[in-house]
Amino acid sequence: MRGEGKSKYLLGTINKAMVVLNLFKNHKTLGITEIARKLSMDKSGIFRIVITLEHWGFLEKTGEQKYRLGTTLAYLGNLALERQEIISIARPFLQKLRDANNETTHLAILTPDNEVTFLLKEVSGHSIQMASTIGLKMPLYITANGKVLLAFSEQAFIEDYINDVVLVRMTENTIVSKEDLLENLRHIREAGFAVDSEESERGLICYAAPVRNMSGKVTASISMSGPAFRMTDNKEARVEAVKTIAEEISRVLGYIPEGR
The average confidence (pLDDT) of the chain is 89
At residue 141, the 3 state secondary structure works out as helix
pLDDT at 79: 64
pLDDT above 60: residue 3: no
192 or 85: which leads in pLDDT = 192
Contact predicate 200/170, CB 8 Å:
yes
Q: What is the CATH number of the domain that holds 12?
A: 1.10.10.10
Q: Do 143 and 62 share a structural domain?
A: no
Distance between CA atoms of residues 137 and 113, nearest Å? 10
Percent of the chain as helix, strand, coil, to the nearest 5: 50, 20, 35
Domain that holds residue 28: 4-69
Q: What is the pLDDT of residues 76-117, one digit of tens each?
A: 876 676 556 788 899 999 999 999 999 999 999 998 889 999
pLDDT per position as a tens digit, 18-47: 999 999 988 989 999 999 999 999 999 999
One domain for residues 169 and 245: yes
Total tally of structural domains belonging to the chain? 2
Q: Do residue 60 and residue 98 come from a single domain?
A: no
Q: What is the pLDDT of residue 63?
A: 79
CB 146 within 8 A of CB 139: yes
Helices (H), the chain: 12-23, 32-39, 43-55, 71-83, 86-101, 144-151, 155-164, 178-191, 228-231, 235-252
pLDDT at 1: 42
Amino acid at 153: S
Neighbours of 11 (CB within 10 A): 10
Residue 78 lies in a domain: no
Domain contains 144: yes
**Residue 153 per-residue DSSP state:** S
Say whether both 203 and 164 belong to one domain.
yes
Query: How far, in Å, are 94, 145, 146, 179 from residue 80 at the CA level?
Result: 20, 20, 20, 35
121-131 pLDDT per residue, tens:
998 765 555 55
Closest by CA position to 114, among listed 145, 148, 72, 69? 69
pLDDT reported for residue 194: 98
3-7, 164-168, 208-212, 221-225: least confidently modelled range: 3-7
Specify whether 45 is located in the same domain as 106: no
- 218-227/194-197 β-pairing: unpaired
